[in-house]
């Protein structure tokens, strides 16, 4: 297989079409997807494939507007009155999704996590809290932290990269970023990072608290078979990015069953593994951002520099945190 270019890697992760690049293609896809709404909120919260939207069992809490291609969550109490309370709304959603899970309608729900992800409205207000494994069905924006742990050595910069366990539901066996994790409802990015660094890499808290925030990585991914479950699901994501310069004697070790091991690789070794498609797509995306920021990828050595930098920071069309 021909090695992947950096732009190929970007396009594997950020693979939803851009309106600015191809308005017709964008519009065709946009018109095909169902749009997920919460009653009372004017913003579209996510895109759903027709195959998914049309399979959701309709109850009093849901309305499928086929004309406008909208799936609307309209939580109702026992008197059929709208429920506007945040916790009650989430309870209704949780109970409903549990019911859908038991009916085995969707493959991705077999990876049930018992963890809730936040969904925000146009004024950054928390609108909903949704079981993590269900988020790609609704195509809502999810949040995470990604940290690159690196060491300055006599041979130049080296990067700590784990291999994902073969038992992982998503992207088993692929290479990953030093530490990454999803942000649950109510969790702050930096605290999430400290927790994940302890759980996944056994890194001490005092070291992790020296990590530097460096921005966000945003992309709009459409899932293929490597993600497991249904394909074509929309996964717009926002990753809070951190760099951790590590002393040579800080050795990450798998602290849970997420990783097989950690390897300390040179930049060239990381780039080769990326070109061979061995990194999980959004991790390759993050590493490109790291390389841009550290002057490893530059206008002088990367012909697609401008295109790559902008696509590492996509403006999502949904409300965000």
**CB of residue 318 to its own copies, shortest distance in Å:** 9
Residue 293 binds to its own copies (criterion: CB under 8 A): yes
Which CB, 14 or 258, lies closer to its own copies? Answer: 14
Phi/psi of residue 123, nearest 5 degrees: -105, 25
Give the DSSP per-residue string, 248-282: TT------SSSEEEEEEEEHHHHHHHHHTT-B-HH
**CB of residue 238 to its own copies, shortest distance in Å:** 6
Residue 187 binds to its own copies (criterion: CB under 8 A): no
**CB of residue 312 to its own copies, shortest distance in Å:** 7
Q: Which of the residues 68 through 87 are near its own copies (CB under 8 A)?
A: none
**CB of residue 185 to its own copies, shortest distance in Å:** 15
Residue 311 binds to its own copies (criterion: CB under 8 A): yes
**CB of residue 219 to its own copies, shortest distance in Å:** 11
* Binding residues with its own copies: total (CB under 8 A): 38
Q: How far apart are CA 287 and CA 267, in angstroms?
A: 10
| H or E element that contains 127 | strand 126-131
Q: Tell me the CA distances in angstroms from 106 to 43, 109, 116, 185, 237, one per residue in order.
A: 25, 6, 18, 23, 21
Residue 146 binds to its own copies (criterion: CB under 8 A): no
The stretches of 180-266 forming alpha helices (DSSP H) are 189-201, 205-208
Q: How far apart are CA 117 and CA 132, in angstroms?
A: 5
Which CB, 274 or 312, lies closer to its own copies? Answer: 312
Residue 292 binds to its own copies (criterion: CB under 8 A): yes
Structural contact between residues 243 and 212, judged by C-beta atoms closer than 8 angstroms: yes
For its own copies, the binding residue among 58, 213, 224, 253 (CB under 8 A) is 213
**Pairing of β 62-65 and β 142-153:** unpaired
Which CB, 124 or 226, lies closer to its own copies? Answer: 124
Q: How far apart are CA 273 and CA 3, in angstroms?
A: 10
**CB of residue 309 to its own copies, shortest distance in Å:** 5
Which stretches of the chain bind its own copies, using CB under 8 A?
18-21, 124, 188-190, 212-216, 218, 238, 240, 292-295, 298-300, 303, 305-307, 309-317, 320-321
């Amino acid at each position: 297989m021909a090695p992947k270019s950096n732009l190929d890697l970007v396009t594997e992760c950020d693979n939803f079409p851009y309106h600015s690049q191809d308005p017709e293609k964008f519009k065709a896809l946009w018109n095909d997807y169902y749009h997920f709404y919460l009653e009372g909120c004017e913003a579209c919260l996510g895109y759903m494939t027709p195959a998914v939207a049309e399979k959701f069992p309709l109850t009093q809490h849901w309305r499928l507007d086929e004309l406008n291609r909208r799936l609307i969550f309209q939580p109702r109490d026992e008197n059929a009155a709208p429920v506007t309370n945040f916790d009650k709304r989430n309870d209704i959603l949780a109970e409903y999704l549990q019911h859908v899970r038991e009916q085995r309608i969707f493959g991705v729900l077999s990876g049930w996590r018992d963890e809730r992800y936040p969904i925000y409205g146009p004024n950054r207000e928390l609108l909903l809290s949704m079981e993590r494994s269900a988020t790609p069905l609704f195509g809502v924006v999810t949040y995470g932290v990604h940290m690159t742990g690196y060491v300055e050595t006599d041979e130049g910069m080296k990067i700590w990269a784990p291999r994902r366990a073969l038992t992982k539901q998503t992207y088993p066996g692929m290479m990953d970023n030093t530490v990454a994790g999803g942000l649950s409802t109510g969790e702050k990015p930096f605290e999430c990072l400290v927790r994940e660094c302890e759980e996944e890499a056994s890194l001490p808290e005092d070291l992790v608290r020296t990590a530097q925030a460096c921005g966000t990585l945003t992309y709009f991914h459409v899932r293929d078979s490597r993600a497991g479950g249904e394909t074509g699901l929309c996964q717009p994501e926002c990753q809070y990015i951190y760099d951790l310069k590590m002393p040579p004697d800080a050795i990450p070790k798998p602290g849970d069953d997420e990783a097989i091991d950690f390897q300390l690789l040179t930049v060239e070794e990381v780039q080769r593994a990326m070109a061979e498609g061995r990194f999980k797509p959004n991790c390759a995306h993050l590493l490109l951002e790291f390389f841009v920021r550290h002057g490893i990828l530059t206008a002088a050595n990367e012909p697609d520099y401008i295109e790559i930098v902008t696509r590492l920071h996509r403006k999502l069309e949904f409300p965000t945190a």
